[in-house]
A and B are shown apart, each in its own frame.
Chain A
């Protein structure tokens, strides 16, 4: 039975992740009084890309072509071990805990960068070096956030954390939880590439993540983009299910119907988060490049203060 749930979760993530990026783009454009693309536009883009031809630079090695597929596989794996539609661990959930999940995200990012560098393109190098320096700071912050939240329940299991936060209002309203949630929200902005870290234009002055897949084309690019959509979807779902609104996630007693109903509720939660992102995107402006590191210092400080709050209050 739990294999069925795993399959359901996999298909959920796979099929619905481009939808939310489409919703984000459309809402941003509507907020700016423009008509904007339809919410299914990313699907159309992916389908278009699958029909195009692949061009590979002569100087690249096989790593270049393999990169997007490996990353895609990582994200597929992550989608069946993290709590996205269920509050109880599924068949493959014991393969990796929260920290393992964080490390997988890091591994995927690293492989992305290796294969991008391999294309020997200047823009790819630019994007990779910037993403690497930001990632060098944001990955430890993510680790710190995951560890600090694990302190809540004395485990690293996201499902247990979900349960603890759902049942005990003392932990939910504690300072530790507050700080960690805010820090993770800011990390989410960094990881999913929203403003004020990264805008959606192709301006070379500030491109970070958009510059990495500069040389990819055709189905490689489609798989790469799909992987990116899945990453954003997974991170946002984890944020909502474990940190912010752990209530209402389907538990074991609810059965198949409960899980399906929850999938609908989850879509609504994600739409809410996407609207928040759209509001932020249309209000703030992009940081200049070196200010990103100061921003990261503040995020690190918040995550660190979470640990200090825990020691002062609880220990």
Chain B
């Protein structure tokens, strides 16, 4: 590999370097190192995005889709590190020292970078399994019983799903003799074993992405994990698993596969929207909102062409907006001390910046215009109507509307009722991070034509 090829591995290298350097026991050193590592990873991701041509050699496969996802991962990584700098002191009774937290965060980011750039489906599997390993302890940062229970459920359910993916990888390898995405895109066998392998891979990776019916770990984990961890989960971990599913669908876009993925996506949206209406815990509610957006992304991937563009728009915009929302909920939790929506009142008077941000974020995440998630959903609906007619599209629109109403109603109740119940407090130091994220999410609206350029080769009908 020549030196320009090595640039593609730079984000992985930065975050791994940051992780190793975190081991040095100088106080405050790990935060500085993580910050530097995340910023350098971000810069290299920008370089890859803008300057690196689409490349593939025997290990790495980088094309428009992976560049965009890489960029999103890096961006959310930076914002999570920035937010964790000041959030960690709010966690009472942590399970391990902050040095281990930053180490795990860097390793987690590096495994996600790894999963997105690899050419070999087996290596993608290894990367996603490694994300489970490194994030399991992050979920359990706060040492109380329910959190540990949710961490254990996460480990077991996701690992079982990934074993199904491993079986799928075995089928794919056995029937086609190769696991390389670049070769499989050119030619793939059309027999039944390969088809079953692709379907099983969708199910297996779908467990990691929170697709119905394997989503049961998602609300538990998001309800109990600390805010930065929830942010990075919803923002990038779920899309990375969906990236793997997208590659698999792209390899074999037969009607069976796309119908299967479409059905799963629609069911995910339906279930998420229904469950959102009865939630009392705001973090769980936003977890179901993530699940709904993941369902929309899956629908987009399964449709292809215009739907693919919409899905990528949602990935980028949702990554930024949802991480911002979870950062805001971290603020709310550290101020009010409770995750139940009934206990949170008068947010507007107490933390006006957070309240405004949370309101905007909730609108953004559920797909209100002019936020780009709305535009992405429009693209997906256009493709859905073109390929499948009005029936399914109307159903999905109905459930999205249900989700929109329930989330915004509950958030509005948190923010606007209560009046002057509490005096105005000083905003938290890191509240500017989610505000930046949210504005970036809005600004990405203007970059949609550039996204289309990146994904050009997929959009040709």
- Given a CB threshold of 8 Å, the question of whether A touches B is answered with no
